[in-house]
Amino acid sequence: MTDCIFCKIAQGIIPVTFVHQDEKVVAFKDLNPQAPIHVLVVSRVHIPALTVPEASDPKVLGAIFNVIRQLAVSLRLEHGFRVVANCGPEGGQSVPHLHFHLLGGRQMNWPPG
The residues assigned a catalytic role are 99
CA 31: distance to chain centroid? 12
4, 83, 86, 108: residue in contact with ligand 5GP (rule CB under 6 A): 86
38, 44, 97, 99: residue in contact with Zn ion (rule CB under 5 A): 97
Please choose, out of 24-32, 57-65, 70-78, 102-110, the segment that lies near ligand 5GP by the rule CB under 6 A: 24-32
Q: What are phi and psi of 108, to 5 degrees?
A: -85, 150
- DSSP conformation class of 47: -
Measured CA to CA, the distance from residue 107 to residue 87 in angstroms comes to 23
The nearer residue to ligand 5GP, 1 or 14, going by C-beta atoms, is 14
Residue 81 touches which member of ligand 5GP, Zn ion, none, C-beta under 5-8 Å by kind: none
Measured CA to CA, the distance from residue 94 to residue 47 in angstroms comes to 14
The nearer residue to ligand 5GP, 3 or 78, going by C-beta atoms, is 3
What x-and-dash track marks residues 22-51 binding Zn ion by CB under 5 A? ------------------------x-----
Which has the closest alpha carbon to 6: 101, 104, 113? 101
Question: How many other β-carbons are positioned within 10 Å of the β-carbon of residue 33?
Answer: 13
